[in-house]
Amino acid sequence: MDLRDQEAGQAAWARRKRIIDVGGLDLAYVEIAGAEPPLLLIHGFTDTSRSFSLLAPHLSGRRLIVPDLRGHGASQASEGCGVADFAGDIAGLMQRLQLSRPIVVGHSLGGMVSIALAARHPERIGGLVILAGTLKPDFEPGHPLVDGVAALRDPISPSNPFYEWWHACGPGVPRAFLAGLAQDASAIPAARWHAILEEIRRTDLTAAARAVQAPTLIIAGGLDPLFGEGHQQSMAQALSGSHLVWAQDCGHNPHWEDPAFVAKAIAGMLPSG
């Protein structure tokens, strides 16, 4: 696919967004019709629903609900920006859309949100898929993410060199997709980047994970620079009955780098027929 076709595909994804009021907050989401149970796909820090636009074609035939978290993409910002706030929004979205026991797929921060959601509402979740996630980040002072976010100044440029590290992935990921991610992230004010990151750094989901009852699949990138093997093993131990699989050649974004592998792993969570 050439760059022009890539750009057209990314623009089409953005045009699919709908807006719904959830507890007085306007949340944007993309919905793709298909078989139940639905897949509820939750993106990571500074991403948007666009994060799953490469994965979606590999999940053809399934109903997909793909929101922008509050303060990301086309969703309205609000004062709270912690994992609990995001999880509350997603619970409200599920209620508004009358989603019946969806499989919740969360990437990075979205994985943390998914765990918090499943711990609070065990009766409403049909299963979890955690992509490149963690229970307790270890972003100490001097970490590249901490320093990179601290250096951001408004207006953030989509060509900021920080994105070369923040969106690092294999060479096969479409350029137009990465450019779209940088545009989306750059629309978030630097103060909000910092506030959300500080909330992430304070989060410890160990107790929440032990309360999760849903069957859980953990998909980890073998080359993940943020949440390596120790993080994945801690999740696997805390999430009872979970199954851990490795996308060995992927970094922090397996659903960008190898969407076919990720889709095949997710398919194993779904009822056949």
Tokens at 100, concatenated: 């019946």
* pLDDT score, position 106: 98
Query: Could you give the angle at the alpha carbon of 48 between the alpha carbons of 243 and 224, nearest 5°?
Result: 45
Kindly list the distances between the CA atom of residue 186 and the CA atoms of 31, 50, 155, 177, in Å, as whole numbers in the listed order.
Answer: 24, 14, 8, 14
C-beta separation of 42 from 67 below 8 A: yes
Sign of CA dihedral 207, 212, 216, 219: negative
* pLDDT score, position 244: 98
DSSP readout, 11-35? HHHHHT-EEEEETTEEEEEEEE--E
* pLDDT score, position 3: 75
Q: How far apart are CA 201 and CA 218, in angstroms?
A: 21
C-beta separation of 152 from 193 below 8 A: yes
* pLDDT score, position 272: 66
Q: How far apart are CA 251 and CA 224, in angstroms?
A: 4
Provide the greatest CA pair distance for the chain: 51
Please report, in tens digits, the pLDDT of each residue of the chain (273 residues total): 677 788 888 888 889 999 999 999 999 999 999 999 999 999 999 999 999 999 999 999 999 999 999 999 999 999 999 999 999 999 999 999 999 999 999 999 999 999 999 999 999 999 999 999 999 999 999 999 999 999 999 999 999 999 999 999 988 999 999 999 999 999 999 999 999 999 999 999 999 999 999 999 999 999 999 999 999 999 999 999 999 999 999 999 999 999 999 999 999 988 765
* pLDDT score, position 49: 98
Beta partners for 40? Answer: 65, 104
Q: How far apart are CA 137 and CA 140, in angstroms?
A: 9
* pLDDT score, position 1: 61
Beta partners for 219? Answer: 131, 245
Domain 3-96+113-251 annotated CATH 3.20.20.70 = no
Q: How far apart are CA 162 and CA 158, in angstroms?
A: 9
